[in-house]
């Protein structure tokens, strides 16, 4: 005998819902080591630039590498489709609000050219930095060999939601376990959010996992599809999978929180939740060096029948170096992100990123206090 | 010996409180089957148009049927009371804010004409689509035979709150169990929200249940009466009743979430919560083909002494086909609702609506994050 | 051996946090009996008008009684201090925002005149209605005999917070158990919020308890003192005390929710939470018949050193009859409050107020859903 | 065998989340004793003025002492660096929004002068009040002897986050247990938030602990670093540590809630949560006597590479006496803070601050109720 079964709902948390608690020991920020490892590559700062056309072009990728981070170039973006990407980016920046979604749909329906891909990768490699590029699962089998051939160091396979098991009628699904064995460079996969999915993907042999579905500023998946998991909970789940997988398999896969990070505070919370690194879109698209001309837009924006990204006017706020390494001339958390991380690590007594994973966090919604609203009003005026 | 008894309060959830979690397996959207069955009728899309005068007239009902859905015509609305409903709709659209509530009270006090009812139903049937019409419980005994005689295929008996047991002094209450046996066409009843009430109504022999009290954009029952249950919790309860009833009686009654759905995201969440279909008012009243001339209003609006619906200026946003089937040219989730459902089903690995009922959901309030507010501001500007 | 003790915090709920769930049986609203009893007096509608100078004067009290409710005249307000209260009310209505708090402090420091008290009570009694008057605990011993002598039927002893035990250096505290035995008319006491305090007060022999500290629209106790309990939780606690006291002592004391009620929805929620009646300030101060000239203000407003009430411009919205009994020409819940209660009782299957105490309630915050915000914006524009 | 480990998140609460519940006994406010002891000094009001340059200069410190409280002068602020602090304060008040952060960085990089320190302290002592001064941990060893020599009575060692254990490469960390033994005057340390950290700091011999990381109106640590603990939870934890330490060691260390307090309500809630006193910045910077010329700013504002405080235009609202002791001419809780405390103590039946620690508190978010929003709108217009 049993009664009715009601669907159960768990509570999930995002950046705004939580805060980090200071540690019982503090250290000086200059003792904090922020380095992060992906496959055989080690980076001095745990920041990746998103594979968005408003954020990354080859010149930006070189600058990012010189500062100690890693930019990902989208091979299915304007650089992989056009010989004159700068003209296309000008068109996007000049389009009106009404024109932009159809324009995206048109621009991103042009064919991907293998020559253009090769040329981009060569440019980045000529800058003497690690070169990472991204493709979608549908195009991975065709484009991955081209990228490796051209000299790419890291391959990111990215779609809105990625699992180890995908069923398709129109094409034979990408089997990650086979693919990771065949390809000679480290593979990063995403985006994912759940514990089981993360564990299954790690078992396929990937070196990094992008965490996050729906939270980005330029993404409206939550409105359009109802799908989305707040980043703190998503990161906690994937970090638990990473630790469990490391315990079982003796191999450590990088967990990279991707989407929705706007400030140093968000970055610090991602790491405290368990991220080994973060992927930033809009905050880096605000750099003088970014190719977006003051705009950014999501990879789902050009979808032909169901666009769910928007072009956001992000402005230009400072040099990439200032945004990442300071000094900051603002107090809203959008500059000197690494300085913020070092300071937070100091306050939590964390010598390394892995120490910072142990920092205590609390649920403490920030927006509803009048004090903060007062403060926000001050910042806005 | 016992102490004081305090009233207990359960937590309930609405669309804004929750999000859908991607599945551990994904499928291509083209594999998703969105069909839905009501009695002997099967529809390719799980969408009903609300019995609201701003949303449905005979021409709209035909268009809706051609696209694979089902519109419900309100026999107690202007089409059942006037020979010239278009003139009446013009009056409503032209009334000022001050005039509108008294105007509603006057317009909807005109008598319901059997000839007008017959004429509407004939028009819809001439379009070769399934014809659904709605009446209130008070008028069901009188109007239902007229509707069946005129050729209606489905009868919706709808009031603010419907239970299997209603006590009245002024008229002999409608006994659904007797009524369902007498009438020759499938009966859909609503609106309801609780597990027990849903179960009792299903036991009377109905084929469909409309779920939702108070959430619609054009309804102010919550403010006026304090009564209302958020749609996700209401749907979860009624879906549990449906499954329990199917287990006991071997018969599957359609659960239709009705009210408060504005976007593809809301539609997808309704289905993930357990709905077999959804009923839409305002989103469809925004179609070029809708009779409301850019307005919509609720069925409780004309109440003579306690009006609790408002006329909302909804605008016209696209063709009905674009709203339902796309392609979408906007990114806020108000177009290509079925494309959104297919995509969400793909992301959750759901081949059918019943598979989608198994999708995981989380509590993740969307409005209070600054990121989303930033995003919303972008969408509004 | 024991560890640290952390202060524990319970969650409390207000009107906006909850909603009423429809019943499993419904009845026609005309079957609902809304009557309420206080001592030997029975009223056909469970509504008291607050002892606020903006809401009640003798003429208003007569009108309120004729409609079936009960108004409370504040003997320590302008009618108890001035022979020409209308001139004083004119001054208040004409004062600027800057002048108002000092003006209140001046006006309410005039002495209370026994002759003025007698004259007010006589006026109300001449209207052939039940006459209720209010005093503060400090002045009860002096003013209560005057009020009884003049013919008052019900005495309300009211201060911001009232308990059965009050310690004072400057005056011998009022001992309610002695006082209730001495006085010949029913005593209503308030305001209170807790289970134990409510129980202790009921044991002193009072006939009614006013529930609510801090929630009123014209009261800023929560900001100034940090003190306040949301009304739904406060009502649930006091109703539990009433039921426990009735079980123990066989005597039923009326629980009256006082403060913060703006709409029919709030009134219905108060009753569903356990109130036998409600006390309304601002909603009744909006009547054409109200003496406030479109303003209302709290009893704590004139405090000489710590004013914690404000003068609110409430406007005039309709006749007292329309506000209480309808018909309503608005849809925001501010008119036909009793019609709303009857309708809600019908939806919950409640034949009496005591039946309505059994209605199910849920926690369902209303303000944060976008749908409701959209709706609110429509109502405001 | 064990499964995955997910990071757990506790819920924490701030001022806006809670309210105080009236007691079961009430007392007259004139019976409330608000005194507070720090080392051998007793103050008649439990209020400290923050060591912020916008709030405290020597003249202000004298006025504060005369009213029964204690002001803390920041020895590392303009008074410790400049012979002409008034000119520097003029510059700050006259700078534009764009100039202010670089100006802070410049002004606060001037060297601290021992002569200036001595001169300030002498001025305060000449006023015949208790003199408290603050330094950061880095400069404590150098500046503390100077301050003691000049006649300071109380030393505050303050940084964003302070623990008993700090690890540094650049300087030998301050060991509080050694320092407290060496210095002849009471030491107050902060800021801290956790139970364990508070307990460890108390064990070093301090006399007072400042509680609060991130909540102040002029502080953006939460945005920049993601670090912050809401004040009610922080105070509850530190008060539990104080009580535990008193039980173990027989010594009572004052717990002082510092940051985010804007109104009498916030002050009362701090005490009800367990604070022995509060430290106020912005509310006192609004006094006519404050040196900030209508502005206030945080101690982290001038950080050379990661500024995380802002200059807030606070205005001037009344005399210091009016703000602290009334009479109040406003109703928003910003004047007569001590009158508010006395009244709240009366309502809770608390004769002393320690009695007030026993007051019941509830979780009752204030901002989201429409009634309060209506009220706030009234206050703002």
pLDDT tens for each residue of B325-337: 988 877 788 899 9
Q: At what angle do helices A231-249 and A195-203 cross, to 10 degrees?
A: 40
CB C47 within 8 A of CB C305: no
Please write the tens of the pLDDT for every residue from A228-279.
Answer: 999 999 999 999 999 999 999 999 999 999 999 999 999 999 999 999 999 9
Nearest Cα residue in chain C from B10: C362
Residues in A closer than 8 angstroms to B237, CB to CB, are 6
C-alpha of D27 from chain center? 29
CB–CB contact B223 C22 (8 Å) = no
DSSP strand pairing (D41-43 vs D47-49): unpaired
Chain D nearest-CA distance from C257, in A, is 15
CB–CB contact C7 D363 (8 Å) = no
Q: What is the pLDDT of residue B304?
A: 73
CB–CB contact D265 C194 (8 Å) = no
Q: Which residues contact B106 (CB under 8 A, 6 or more apart)?
A: none
Q: Is C9 on the interface with D (CB under 8 A)?
A: yes
Residues in C closer than 8 angstroms to D317, CB to CB, are none
The helices-and-strands tally (H runs, E runs) of chain D is 16, 17
Nearest to D269 by CA among D360, D193, D197: D360
Residue A21 corresponds to which tokens in the numbers above? 């608690």
Q: Which chains touch B (3 or more CB pairs under 8 A)?
A: A, C
Below-50 pLDDT ranges, chain C: 1, 367-381
Q: Is C373 on the interface with D (CB under 8 A)?
A: no
Residues in D closer than 8 angstroms to C368, CB to CB, are 368
Residues in C closer than 8 angstroms to D363, CB to CB, are 9-12
DSSP strand pairing (B25-27 vs A165-167): parallel
CB–CB contact D226 A328 (8 Å) = no
Q: Is A374 on the interface with D (CB under 8 A)?
A: yes
By Cβ distance, the residue of A6, A169, A367 closest to B370 is: A367
DSSP state of A77: S
Q: What is the pLDDT of residue C90?
A: 96
**Residues 53-72, chain C: which have Cβ within 8 Å of B?**
none
Nearest Cα residue in chain C from D241: C4
Q: Is B231 on the interface with A (CB under 8 A)?
A: no
pLDDT at D370 over 70: no
Chain C nearest-CA distance from D203, in A, is 15
Cα pseudo-dihedral D86, D88, D91, D93, rounded to 10? -60
Beta-carbon neighbour count of residue C352 at 10 Å?
A: 14
Q: Is D98 on the interface with C (CB under 8 A)?
A: no
Higher pLDDT, C160 or D245: D245
DSSP strand pairing (B295-296 vs C208-211): unpaired
Nearest Cα residue in chain D from C201: D24
Higher pLDDT, B98 or D238: D238
CATH for A30-380 is 3.20.20.70
CB–CB contact D9 A362 (8 Å) = yes
Residues in C closer than 8 angstroms to B170, CB to CB, are 28, 30
CB A156 within 8 A of CB A190: yes
CB–CB contact C6 D237 (8 Å) = yes
**At A23, is the pLDDT very low, low, confident or very high (cuts 50, 70, 90)?**
very high
Q: What is the pLDDT of residue C171?
A: 63
Question: In sequence order, what DSSP letters do the residues of D219-245 get, joined into one string?
Answer: B-HHHHHSB-B-HHHHHHHHHHHHHHH
Higher pLDDT, B218 or A10: A10
**At A367, is the pLDDT very low, low, confident or very high (cuts 50, 70, 90)?**
very low
- The CA radius of gyration of chain B, in Å to the nearest whole number, is 20
Please write the tens of the pLDDT for every residue from B310-323.
Answer: 788 999 989 999 99
By Cβ distance, the residue of B102, B197, B215 closest to C329 is: B102
Nearest Cα residue in chain A from D372: A370
Residues in C closer than 8 angstroms to D244, CB to CB, are 3-5
Residues in C closer than 8 angstroms to D375, CB to CB, are 217, 220, 310, 312
Cα separation of C82 and C90, whole Å? 13
Please write the tens of the pLDDT for every residue from A24-82.
Answer: 999 999 999 999 999 999 999 999 999 999 999 999 999 999 999 999 999 999 999 99
Q: What is the pLDDT of residue D218?
A: 55
In angstroms, the first-to-last Cα distance of chain B is 63
Residues in C closer than 8 angstroms to B367, CB to CB, are 368-370, 373
**Residues 182-201, chain C: which have Cβ within 8 Å of B?**
195
Residue with tokens 């406010």: D29
CB C298 within 8 A of CB C310: yes
By Cβ distance, the residue of C16, C163, C217 closest to D375 is: C217
Q: What backbone phi and psi angles, to 5 degrees, belong to B373?
A: -65, -40
Partner residues linked to C213 by β-bridges:
C229
Domain boundaries, chain B: 15-380
Q: Is B347 on the interface with C (CB under 8 A)?
A: no
CB D210 within 8 A of CB D256: yes
Nearest to C219 by CA among A45, B12, D372, B287: D372
CB A339 within 8 A of CB A330: no
Q: What is the pLDDT of residue A215?
A: 74
CB–CB contact A14 B273 (8 Å) = no
pLDDT at A300 over 80: no
CB–CB contact B11 C263 (8 Å) = no
SS3 of residue A343 by DSSP: helix
Q: Is A305 on the interface with B (CB under 8 A)?
A: yes
Cα separation of D222 and D225, whole Å? 6
Among C21, C274, C373, which would you mutate to test the B interface (most chain B Cβ atoms within 10 Å of its Cβ)? C21
Q: Is B272 on the interface with A (CB under 8 A)?
A: yes
Among C263, C364, C368, which would you mutate to test the B interface (most chain B Cβ atoms within 10 Å of its Cβ)? C364
The model carries a pTM of: 0.91
CB–CB contact A21 D368 (8 Å) = no
CB–CB contact D363 C11 (8 Å) = yes
Q: What is the pLDDT of residue B230?
A: 93
**Residues 243-262, chain A: which have Cβ within 8 Å of D?**
243-244
Percentage of the residues of chain B whose pLDDT score is greater than 70: 93
Higher pLDDT, A289 or C4: A289
CB–CB contact B166 C272 (8 Å) = no
Q: Is A160 on the interface with B (CB under 8 A)?
A: yes
DSSP strand pairing (B254-258 vs B277-280): parallel
pLDDT at B79 over 70: yes
Beta-carbon neighbour count of residue A276 at 10 Å?
A: 24
Average pLDDT in chain D:
90
CA distances (Å), A318 to each of A287, A314, D53, D109, in order? 5, 12, 30, 24
CB–CB contact C371 B215 (8 Å) = yes
Decide which of 3.40.50.300, 3.20.20.70, 3.30.70.980, 3.90.226.10 is the CATH code for D15-380: 3.20.20.70
By Cβ distance, the residue of A192, A306, A368 closest to B336 is: A306
Nearest Cα residue in chain D from A347: D161
By Cβ distance, the residue of D27, D240, D265 closest to C226 is: D265
Chain A nearest-CA distance from D280, in A, is 14
Q: What is the pLDDT of residue D368?
A: 41
Average pLDDT in chain B:
90
Q: Is B129 on the interface with C (CB under 8 A)?
A: no
Q: What is the pLDDT of residue A115?
A: 95
Q: What is the pLDDT of residue D327?
A: 87
Beta-carbon neighbour count of residue C98 at 10 Å?
A: 9
Q: What is the pLDDT of residue C365?
A: 77
Q: Which chains touch D (3 or more CB pairs under 8 A)?
A: A, C
CA distances (Å), A80 to each of A48, A88, A311, B42, D290, in order? 20, 12, 20, 45, 62
């Amino acid at each position: 005998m049993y009664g009715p079964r009601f669907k159960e709902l768990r509570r999930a948390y995002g950046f705004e819902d939580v805060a980090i608690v200071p540690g019982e020991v503090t250290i000086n920020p200059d003792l904090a080591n922020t380095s992060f490892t992906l496959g055989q590559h080690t980076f001095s700062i745990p920041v990746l630039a998103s594979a968005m056309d408003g954020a990354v072009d080859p010149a930006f990728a070189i600058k990012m590498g010189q500062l100690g981070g890693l930019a990902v170039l989208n091979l299915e973006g304007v650089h992989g489709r056009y010989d004159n990407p700068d003209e296309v980016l000008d068109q996007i920046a000049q389009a009106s609000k009404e024109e932009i979604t159809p324009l995206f749909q048109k621009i991103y329906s042009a064919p991907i050219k293998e020559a253009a891909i090769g040329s981009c990768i060569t440019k980045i490699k000529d800058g003497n930095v690690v070169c990472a590029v991204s493709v979608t699962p549908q195009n991975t089998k065709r484009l991955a060999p081209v990228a490796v051939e051209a000299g790419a160091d890291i391959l990111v396979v990215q779609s809105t939601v990625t699992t180890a098991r995908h069923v398709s009628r129109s094409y034979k699904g990408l089997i990650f376990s086979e693919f990771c064995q065949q390809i000679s460079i480290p593979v990063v996969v995403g985006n994912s959010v759940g514990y089981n999915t993360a564990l299954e993907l790690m078992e396929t042999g990937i070196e990094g996992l992008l965490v996050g579905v729906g939270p980005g500023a330029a993404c409206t998946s939550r409105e359009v599809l109802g799908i989305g998991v707040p980043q703190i909970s998503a990161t906690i789940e994937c970090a638990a999978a990473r630790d469990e997988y490391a315990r079982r398999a003796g191999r450590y896969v990088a967990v990279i929180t991707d989407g929705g990070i706007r400030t140093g505070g968000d970055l610090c919370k991602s790491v405290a939740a368990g991220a080994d690194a973060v992927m930033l879109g809009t905050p880096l698209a605000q750099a003088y060096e970014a190719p977006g001309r003051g705009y950014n837009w999501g990879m789902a924006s050009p979808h032909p029948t169901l666009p769910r990204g928007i072009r956001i006017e992000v402005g230009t706020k400072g040099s990439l170096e200032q945004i990442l390494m300071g000094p900051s001339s603002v107090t809203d958390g959008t500059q000197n992100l690494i300085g913020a991380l070092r300071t937070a690590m100091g306050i939590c007594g964390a010598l390394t990123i892995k120490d910072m994973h142990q920092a205590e966090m609390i649920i403490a919604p920030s927006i509803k206090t009048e004090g903060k609203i007062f403060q926000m009003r001050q910042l806005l005026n």
